[in-house]
Amino acid sequence: MNADRRKRIAALIATLEGLAGQIEDAASEARALQEEEREAYDNMPESLQSSDRGYASDAAADGLDTVADALESLDIQDMVTTLDEARS
Protein backbone atom coordinates (compact mmCIF):
# COMPACT_ATOMS: atom_id res chain seq x y z
CA MET A 1 0.00 0.00 0.00
CA ASN A 2 1.36 3.40 -0.88
CA ALA A 3 1.71 6.37 1.46
CA ASP A 4 -1.27 8.23 0.01
CA ARG A 5 -3.68 5.37 0.69
CA ARG A 6 -2.22 4.93 4.19
CA LYS A 7 -2.92 8.61 4.89
CA ARG A 8 -6.46 8.24 3.56
CA ILE A 9 -7.04 5.21 5.79
CA ALA A 10 -5.67 7.17 8.77
CA ALA A 11 -8.15 9.96 7.98
CA LEU A 12 -10.96 7.42 7.75
CA ILE A 13 -9.96 5.97 11.12
CA ALA A 14 -10.01 9.45 12.65
CA THR A 15 -13.47 10.04 11.21
CA LEU A 16 -14.78 6.75 12.62
CA GLU A 17 -13.28 7.46 16.02
CA GLY A 18 -15.00 10.85 16.02
CA LEU A 19 -18.29 9.25 15.07
CA ALA A 20 -18.06 6.68 17.86
CA GLY A 21 -18.94 9.23 20.55
CA GLN A 22 -21.76 10.68 18.48
CA ILE A 23 -23.20 7.22 17.87
CA GLU A 24 -23.01 6.45 21.59
CA ASP A 25 -24.82 9.71 22.37
CA ALA A 26 -27.49 8.98 19.77
CA ALA A 27 -28.03 5.47 21.17
CA SER A 28 -28.38 6.86 24.69
CA GLU A 29 -30.89 9.46 23.53
CA ALA A 30 -32.91 6.86 21.60
CA ARG A 31 -32.91 4.60 24.66
CA ALA A 32 -34.05 7.47 26.93
CA LEU A 33 -36.83 8.42 24.53
CA GLN A 34 -37.91 4.79 24.27
CA GLU A 35 -38.13 4.51 28.04
CA GLU A 36 -40.14 7.73 28.30
CA GLU A 37 -42.54 6.62 25.57
CA ARG A 38 -42.94 3.17 27.13
CA GLU A 39 -43.65 4.76 30.52
CA ALA A 40 -46.22 7.09 28.94
CA TYR A 41 -47.89 4.10 27.26
CA ASP A 42 -47.85 2.04 30.47
CA ASN A 43 -49.45 4.93 32.37
CA MET A 44 -52.30 5.28 29.87
CA PRO A 45 -55.67 3.90 30.86
CA GLU A 46 -56.36 0.57 29.14
CA SER A 47 -59.01 2.23 27.00
CA LEU A 48 -56.38 4.59 25.57
CA GLN A 49 -53.83 1.81 25.13
CA SER A 50 -56.34 0.11 22.84
CA SER A 51 -56.89 3.28 20.80
CA ASP A 52 -55.00 4.65 17.80
CA ARG A 53 -53.07 6.88 20.20
CA GLY A 54 -52.02 3.89 22.29
CA TYR A 55 -51.04 1.83 19.26
CA ALA A 56 -48.96 4.75 17.95
CA SER A 57 -47.24 5.18 21.32
CA ASP A 58 -46.46 1.47 21.53
CA ALA A 59 -45.13 1.46 17.96
CA ALA A 60 -42.98 4.53 18.66
CA ALA A 61 -41.46 2.86 21.73
CA ASP A 62 -40.74 -0.29 19.71
CA GLY A 63 -39.17 1.76 16.91
CA LEU A 64 -36.96 3.69 19.30
CA ASP A 65 -35.87 0.42 20.89
CA THR A 66 -34.94 -0.97 17.48
CA VAL A 67 -32.92 2.15 16.64
CA ALA A 68 -31.11 2.08 20.00
CA ASP A 69 -30.28 -1.61 19.54
CA ALA A 70 -28.94 -0.98 16.03
CA LEU A 71 -26.78 1.92 17.18
CA GLU A 72 -25.46 -0.03 20.15
CA SER A 73 -24.54 -2.97 17.92
CA LEU A 74 -22.24 -0.90 15.72
CA ASP A 75 -18.69 -1.93 16.50
CA ILE A 76 -16.63 1.09 15.52
CA GLN A 77 -13.54 -0.30 17.26
CA ASP A 78 -13.72 -3.44 15.12
CA MET A 79 -13.89 -1.25 12.01
CA VAL A 80 -10.91 0.78 13.19
CA THR A 81 -8.93 -2.40 13.92
CA THR A 82 -9.68 -3.77 10.45
CA LEU A 83 -8.63 -0.51 8.80
CA ASP A 84 -5.49 -0.35 10.91
CA GLU A 85 -4.56 -3.85 9.80
CA ALA A 86 -5.25 -2.93 6.17
CA ARG A 87 -2.80 -0.05 6.23
CA SER A 88 0.00 -2.15 7.75
Task: List, for residues 9-66, the tens digit of each pLDDT value.
Answer: 999 999 999 999 999 999 999 999 999 999 999 999 999 999 999 999 999 999 999 9
Predicted local distance difference test score (pLDDT) of residue 1: 82
Predicted local distance difference test score (pLDDT) of residue 27: 97
The closest alpha carbon to 64, from 25, 38, 39, belongs to 38
Q: What residue type is 80 in one-letter code?
A: V
C-alpha 69 chain-centroid distance: 6
Predicted local distance difference test score (pLDDT) of residue 78: 95
Q: Where are the domains of the chain?
A: 3-86
pTM value is 0.82
Predicted local distance difference test score (pLDDT) of residue 88: 83
